[in-house]
């Protein structure tokens, strides 16, 4: 499960990849559950089909019934097999509140040495990734409306790269890396179309390596 990823820092690079500039307030670069990061969604009531907006949200989905932001610490990933029935995610799923989460890399623990070694996984060509997710809006007790998001995950037991991560004996999981050029298609996907997007990204298009900086918890 992915609880740590890196955002896309450079504004021009962000726009070149996703077709829209990020807001001035971009959140953190190192993202952990409960932190604020960027997501892309269809602009509500934009009056024009295919209009995408980038906005800041909480990493960890907050459904309308959440009592406080602490729930985000456990709702940062949604299993694609059960997302339709889990109370935290089913409303966003049924309403097709799809989002794309821009990322430079995500991190998983490599246990092959017997210890968890944080490992950075990125596209082999160095381009930013668009991760498939869901978004929601929550009204906090003070009255402010807070956007939030979660990353969808799929089984990776047979994936040549991602099967190397997580504890021995545990199911292997991976986030959904969308093909470049398919971001708008995912945002607009119907209930019948969207399962076709929840597929493993080719291992040969990814690269993994240890980065000493990821050992610290922070951004």
Say how many C-beta atoms besides its own lie within 10 A of residue 113's C-beta.
7
* pLDDT one-digit tens code per residue, 182-205: 999 999 999 999 999 999 999 999
DSSP state of 114: S
pTM of the model: 0.93
CATH number of the domain to which 201 belongs = 3.90.1680.10
Pairing of strands 206-210, 129-139: unpaired
Give the domain range for residue 50.
Answer: 5-215
Number of domains in the chain: 1
Find the length of the chain: 219
In tens, the pLDDT along 88-122 reads: 999 999 999 999 999 999 999 988 888 888 999 99
In Å, how far from its chain's centre is CA 117?
21
Q: How far apart are CA 93 and CA 98, in angstroms?
A: 8
């Amino acid at each position: 499960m992915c609880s740590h990823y890196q955002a896309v820092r450079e504004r021009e690079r962000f726009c070149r990849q996703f077709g829209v500039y990020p807001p001035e307030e971009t959140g953190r670069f190192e993202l952990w559950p409960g932190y604020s990061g960027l997501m892309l969604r269809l602009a509500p009531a934009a009056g024009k089909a295919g209009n995408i907006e980038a906005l800041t949200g909480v990493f960890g989905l907050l459904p309308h019934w959440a009592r406080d932001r602490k729930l985000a610490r456990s709702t940062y990933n949604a299993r694609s097999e059960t997302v339709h029935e889990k109370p935290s995610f089913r409303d966003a799923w049924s309403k097709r509140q799809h989002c794309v989460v821009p990322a430079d890399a995500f991190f998983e623990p490599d246990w092959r040495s017997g210890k968890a070694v944080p490992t950075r996984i990125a596209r082999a060509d160095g381009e930013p990734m668009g991760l498939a997710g869901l978004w929601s809006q929550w009204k906090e007790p003070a009255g402010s409306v807070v956007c939030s998001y979660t990353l969808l995950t799929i089984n990776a037991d047979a994936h040549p790269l991602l099967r190397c991560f997580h504890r021995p004996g545990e199911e292997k999981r991976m986030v959904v890396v969308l093909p470049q050029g398919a971001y708008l298609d995912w945002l607009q996907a119907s209930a019948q179309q969207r399962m076709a997007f929840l597929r493993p990204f080719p291992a040969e298009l990814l690269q993994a390596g240890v980065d000493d900086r990821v050992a610290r918890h922070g951004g």
